[in-house]
A and B are shown apart, each in its own frame.
Chain A
Amino acid sequence: MSLLHAVIIFPLLSALCSPYLQRMTIRIHTGWFMLPVPMLIFAYVMGKLQLVQEGDPIQASIPWIASLGISFTVYLDGLSMLFALLISGIGFLVVLYSIYYLDRNKEAVGTFYAYLMLFMGAMLGVVLSDNMIVLYGFWELTSISSFLLIAFWFKREKSKYGALKSMLITVFGGLAMLGGFVLLYVMTGTFSIREIIGNVSAITEHALFVPAMLLVLLGAFTKSAQFPFHIWLPDAMEAPTPVSAYLHSATMVKAGLYLVARLSPVFAGAAGWFWLVSAVGILTLIYGSYRAMKQTDLKAMLAFSTISQLGLIMSLFGLGSAASVYAGSTESLFYVKATMAGIFHMINHAVFKGALFMVVGIVDHETGTRDIRRLGGLMSVMPVTFSIALVGAFSMAGLPPFNGFLSKEMFFTAALNIMEMDVLRMDVFGILFPVIAWVASIFTFIYSMVLVFRTFTGPKTFDKLEKKPHEAPIGMLLPPLVLGSLAVVFGLFPNLVAYTLIEPALAAIHPSVLLPGQQFDASIHFWHGWTTEIFMTIGVICAGTVLYRLHRRVKLLHQPLFSAVSLNRTYDGGISFLNLGSKRITDCYMTGSIRHYLIYIFMFLIISVAVTMGRVSGIRFDFAGFAPMSLYEAVVIFALTVSVIAVPFARTRMMAVILTGTAGYMVTLFFVIFRAPDLALTQMIVETVSVTLFLLCFYHLPKLKKEAETLRFRLPNLIIALGVGMIMTLVALAANSSRSFESISDFFVKESYNLAGGKNIVNVILVDFRGFDTMLEIVVLGIASYGIYALIRLNLDGDEKSATAP
């Protein structure tokens, strides 16, 4: 147990207290009690900055299930620290924001903070865990708490739909990831990520390497809303805005990115990893930015923007993985730049997207709508909000002097660099990367402009709004203000984060790239000189402005290009298809008719026994040693066969009963012939009682309808019956023909008198050698008689038809 463990457990404990705090305090918003939690964590992690920067990670372990190699191991290196700071820092601001956003008299704030703290603890657990199983546990906990938070307003139909959708998709990915982890365990014999990274060379040639990689990537892509698993994110916007800002822009959706970065040292040497991560990322980037332009709801626009930015970071991580191909050479440092750009943009994105979500929340809170068709002209009434929105959107669009400009430049650099790679077939497809990156940047520019200018400029049409808009309270403005200023500060002084955060994170992602004694050069220059990237940015601004102008008039980019192919429709259709399909299939065989079920059972019996007999070689049919048959026996067998065959043909019920009784008496005769006196005695009595009982039950039954008594002939029944009969005959013959060892009955014969003092061996077996069977058999009879008594006497529904009621 170390303080690092406490970092994870502390939010989880506060989640437990939160609902009680709301009940016990009358006037104070529960959020104020929760505010210190992320603050303390942030302070603690900040305190470790120096240590981690010097390449001295913190590791601590608590044994959990030692026999399975599962221990609760926490590990703080550059990458974990970056995420932990993002989670706790933005968490602090979000809690502050939510205090003003959620009305404590109208909302269940205790529950809200319980979920939020649960999420925070889970997220910290994901980024700090070294053990993969523990990581998976926290991973699913983020899915669950996200599910709870999306459905926070659980009386709305859309909230529940969104929550379910995100749950299904992320848990699907989570399970795939677990599969990947298990495969990694199979290959390496450890669940510790640290040890696996130390043992990479052993697994790269393994046959399970590629399946493990695909499964892990499936988990990362679903969580980080990559194409085509992004569909849950826009529907998750039904959550309260602080949740959207925290989970669905800054933290949870970056869990997939964390996973990709964390396992990069394991998989990055493979070309499949490079191609999958880069291609899925770049596809998500262009698709998300295209769809974002079409949205009219501000939060939906931000959701697609998040998808697209996540795709950007993902593709950068993919491009950066090329460094492992050149591991050890100076050339690899060239590609590390891509990873560096990814990390830097991840920080930037968390900053400006958090601010933008909070701005949208303020607009929603103060005007009552998020629809850009109804908004406009808010600039003069909400100047502070407008300024923050302007900074956030310009940063998102990649304009100087904000931080987004720098990361976009670095992104272009990485995309251009990748064209020069001579391995991994980059010479052919390399050109696609800068082109798509450039077009996606134009789209990004357009929706960023739409976001700001459609909301804040233009004519004032306040009479259509539900509320009279005015500036938000200071507490609500403070968190986005902090984030907005950070966007400017990181833009002007990027090296603030470059040396402290990005360098240690790079060292964690690319442990094998550095030669001993080498240092990553993570300095970010604001001005590179007149490079290609600058011209690309100028091109983005020019083309974007022109298109934005045209876009407002002719809806140039609103063509129904993708409306025909809707992934949501595929998802909805798939879900209802699964529902209907499984119902149809179940209805198909679960008919409710006992005859059908018996047919399945008998068919299974016939087929399985027949196949086994055909396959197993030890079965033979050997008629030698069979006893001869005398005339009496022939007569009895004949009588038995005839009476049995006659049963189905019996016209009356009476006849059938008597024929069955006859068969029973023939069996008694067999017992006599085959020297079983006790059996004969018992069988005769039992048969007599049975027949009597049968007649009692059914002959004297009142009001019995005179039905057609003959059995209707059915061919399938006959075929199955014949099959079972033949199988049983074969079983009987095979059992007779092969005897693998001597019977133990010699013992009974020899010792019956010596040990038990009885001469009737069967009786001695029943009450002495195997008396236990007999006792339980008596119990069975007892239960049956009690059951019968209860059946006859008990009449709970007071049915007057009962004839035997006293």
Chain B
Amino acid sequence: MELYMSLAIGVLFTVGVYLVLSKSLLRIILGTSLLTHGVHLLLLTMSRLKTGAAPLLGQKADAYVDPLPQALILTSIVISFGVTSFFFVLAYKAYQNLGTDNMEQLKGDDDE
């Protein structure tokens, strides 16, 4: 399972990076959100998959899955959500004020 998960993570990263390298601001944001998914799955996979029950003590299981990465991912999900929404609004304002979402046109002046 870990092997296939690793491959899926690779796919997520590949597409995420490919989108981040594109010209459109919109696709860059989509790329970052795919990269975020990749990172979360990577965190989860690295702690070994399916080694026990869900980390709820009421279940009286012999073994539980590692709860620490889950806590880390939860924190990360919230932070990346905050950052992504900020990016959305920033891109939206950039559109409104500059009239383009092409990164090549958003270059600074040479004198700067």
Contact = CB atoms under 8 A, between A and B. Distances in A.
Contacts of B2: 623, 626-627, 732-733, 736
A372 interface: no
B93 A761 contact: no
A205 interface: no
Contacts of A728: 9-10, 13, 38, 42
A739 B90 CA distance: 42
A674 B50 contact: yes
Contact of B22 (A591, A717, A722, A736): A717
Contacts of A686: 77-78, 81
A697 B92 contact: yes
A528 interface: no
Interface residues of B, number: 85
Interface string B67-79: 1101101110111
A774 interface: yes
Interface in A321-336: none
Interface string B36-68: 011011101111111111111110000011111
A673 B49 CA distance: 9
Interface in A648-701: 648, 653, 656-657, 660, 663-664, 667, 670-671, 673-679, 682-683, 686, 689-690, 693-694, 697-698, 701
Interface in B19-39: 19-24, 26-27, 29-30, 33-34, 37-38
A745 interface: yes
A459 to B, nearest CB: 58
A749 B29 CA distance: 37
A744 interface: yes
A774 B75 contact: yes
Contact of B14 (A722, A759, A773): A722
A604 to B, nearest CB: 13
Contact of B34 (A660, A693, A712, A736): A660
A748 B67 contact: yes
B97 A801 contact: yes
A736 B19 contact: no
A689 B56 CA distance: 27
Contacts of A694: 29, 88
Contacts of A722: 14
A641 B13 CA distance: 11
A773 B70 CA distance: 13
Contact of B44 (A674, A714, A718): A674
B71 A766 contact: yes
Contact of A675 (B13, B17, B58, B65): B65
Nearest to B39: A728
Contacts of B38: 728
Given A694-B88, A724-B14, A780 B50 contact: no
A714 B30 contact: no
B64 to A, nearest CB: 5
Given A648-B19, A743-B68, A777-B79, A788 B86 contact: yes
Contacts, number: 271
Given A748-B67, A766-B74, A773-B75, A724 B17 contact: yes
Contacts of B54: 675-677
Contact of B55 (A623, A714, A749, A781): A749
Interface in A440-455: none
Between B14, B15, B67, the greatest number of chain A beta carbons within 10 A of the residue's beta carbon is seen for: B67
A792 interface: yes
B82 to A, nearest CB: 4
A287 B58 CA distance: 95
Contact of B1 (A626, A704, A752): A626
Contact of A657 (B16, B30, B46, B68): B30
Nearest to A716: B21
Interface stretch (A153-161, A402-410, A431-439, A595-603): A595-603
Main SS at interface, chain A: helix
Contact of A729 (B7, B19, B81, B107): B7
A676 to B, nearest CB: 5
Nearest to B82: A784
Interface string A717-728: 110111011101
A637 interface: yes
Contacts of B67: 745, 748-749, 752, 761-762, 765
Contact of A644 (B11, B51, B55, B84): B11
Interface string A768-806: 001001100100110111011001100000010111000
Contact of A592 (B6, B37, B108): B108
Nearest to B104: A593
Contacts of A516: none
Contact of A791 (B9, B18, B27, B89): B89
Contact of A787 (B10, B86, B91, B96): B86
A697 B77 contact: no
A736 B23 contact: no
Contact of B11 (A645, A718, A770, A784): A645
B15 A721 contact: yes
Interface in A616-661: 623, 625-629, 633-634, 637, 640-641, 644-645, 647-648, 653, 656-657, 660
A701 B45 CA distance: 39
Given A663-B37, A770-B71, A802 B10 contact: no
A753 interface: yes
A582 interface: no
Contacts of A595: 21-23, 103-104
Nearest to B48: A736
A690 B14 CA distance: 22
Interface string B87-112: 01111110111010001101110100
B103 to A, nearest CB: 5
A311 to B, nearest CB: 47
Contacts of B47: 743
B68 A745 contact: yes
B32 to A, nearest CB: 10
Contact of A678 (B22, B70, B97): B70
Contacts of A724: 13-14, 17
B50 A627 contact: yes
A234 to B, nearest CB: 37
A110 B89 CA distance: 60
Interface of B: 1-24, 26-27, 29-30, 33-34, 37-38, 40-42, 44-58, 64-68, 70-71, 73-75, 77-79, 81-86, 88-93, 95-97, 99, 103-104, 106-108, 110
Given A648-B18, A682-B77, A717-B18, 6 more contacts: A640-B11, A697-B88, A736-B48, A784-B85, A791-B86, A803-B96
5 contacts: A595-B103, A648-B15, A671-B44, A728-B42, A743-B66
Question: Lowest 5 CB-CB distances: which A-B pairs, in order?
Answer: A725-B14, A729-B10, A784-B82, A721-B18, A759-B57
